[in-house]
Structure 1
Amino acid sequence: MYELIKEKRLRKNREYQFVYRRGKSFVNRYAVLYVLPRSPKQSARIGFVTGKKIGCAVDRNRCRRLMKEVYRLHQSELKDGVDLVLIGRSPMKDIGYKQAERSILQLFRHARVLKKKG
C-alpha cells in the first residue's frame, strides 16, 4: 500500500509559510508550484493544498487525490533537496488524470526539479 511517509511531507503550517515566503513560484492553468531549495543530502518534501475557491469538499479532495497520484507515480524522478508545495486551482476539478499529469509534470520541468535523464 502506498503511503506518503512523514520525512517526505510538509506537515506544519510554519513549513508551508516558509516555502511560500522564500520559495519561487511556477504557475499554469491547473496548479501552482512553490519550490524552495534545501540541502541536497535531504530528501524532497512536498505538501498539497486546495483552497475553498475550488468548491465543496468532494471537489477539493478529488483535486488533492489527483495531485498525490501524479506525485506518487513520479516521485522517483524528483531531485533531492527541495521543498515543494503544490496548489490545485479551480479548473483542476474538471479534468482527468492524464491532463493533471501533463500539467503537473510541466510545472516540475519548468521549475527544474526533475532529475537529469541518463
Structure 2
Amino acid sequence: MKKDYRIKKNEDFSVVFQKGKSVANRQFVLYVLPKEGQPNFRIGLSVSKKVGNAVTRNRIKRLIRETFTQLKDDLNQSNDYVVIARIPTADMDFHEVKKSLIHVLNKARVFKKRERYQK
C-alpha cells in the first residue's frame, strides 16, 4: 500500500478517534472520518499484543491491507479509516477477514455502490 494511503502519525490517529464515527463487529472496530478535498482514502491499523505475537499481528495487518487494496475502487476516497483488530482475528484466514471487514464497512456505509456488497 502506497505511502499516501497510510496513517502513521499519532496525531492523525487521535483526530480520527476523537472526531470520527465508530462501527464494530466481533472481529474489528472501524473508525471513519470524512475529509473533504482528500484525493484518496487513508488507512491506519492497530493490532494489540493481546492478539498474538509479532508474526501473527503482522499477518493480520497484511490481510487487512490486501482487503482494502481489493476494495479501494468501491470505497469513498475522501475518508480516513482506522481499523482495530480484535482477538478473534488471530485465527482467521484471508476470506474470513475480508468478509468481516466488508460487513463492518457496510455498517459504516462507506461503499460508493452499496448493492454490490449486500447479502
Aligned 1:1-118 pairs, distance under 5 A: 4-39=1-36, 41-116=38-113
2:96 and 2:20 map into 1 onto residues whose CA distance is 26
1:108 and 1:40 map into 2 onto residues whose CA distance is 21
1:106 and 1:49 map into 2 onto residues whose CA distance is 18
The count of residues paired between Structure 1 and Structure 2 equals 115
TM-score w.r.t. the length of structure 1 is 0.90
2:38 and 2:8 map into 1 onto residues whose CA distance is 20
Pick closer, same or farther for the CA change 1:46–1:20 going to 2, 3 Å: same
Gaps of 5+ in 1: none
Deviation at 1:42, TM superposition (A): 3.1
- Indicate conservation of the 8 Å contact 2:32/2:82, yes or no: yes
2:15 and 2:38 map into 1 onto residues whose CA distance is 19
Q: Where in structure 1 do 4 or more consecutive aligned residues deviate above 3 Å?
A: none
- Indicate conservation of the 8 Å contact 1:40/1:80, yes or no: no
Instruction: Please state whether the residue corresponding to 1:53 is helix, strand or coil.
Output: coil
2:13 and 2:101 map into 1 onto residues whose CA distance is 19
Pick closer, same or farther for the CA change 1:94–1:18 going to 2, 3 Å: same
**What percent identity do the matched residue pairs reach?**
37
Instruction: Please state whether the residue corresponding to 2:113 is helix, strand or coil.
Output: coil
TM-score w.r.t. the length of structure 2 is 0.89
1:41 and 1:58 map into 2 onto residues whose CA distance is 33
- Indicate conservation of the 8 Å contact 1:8/1:44, yes or no: yes
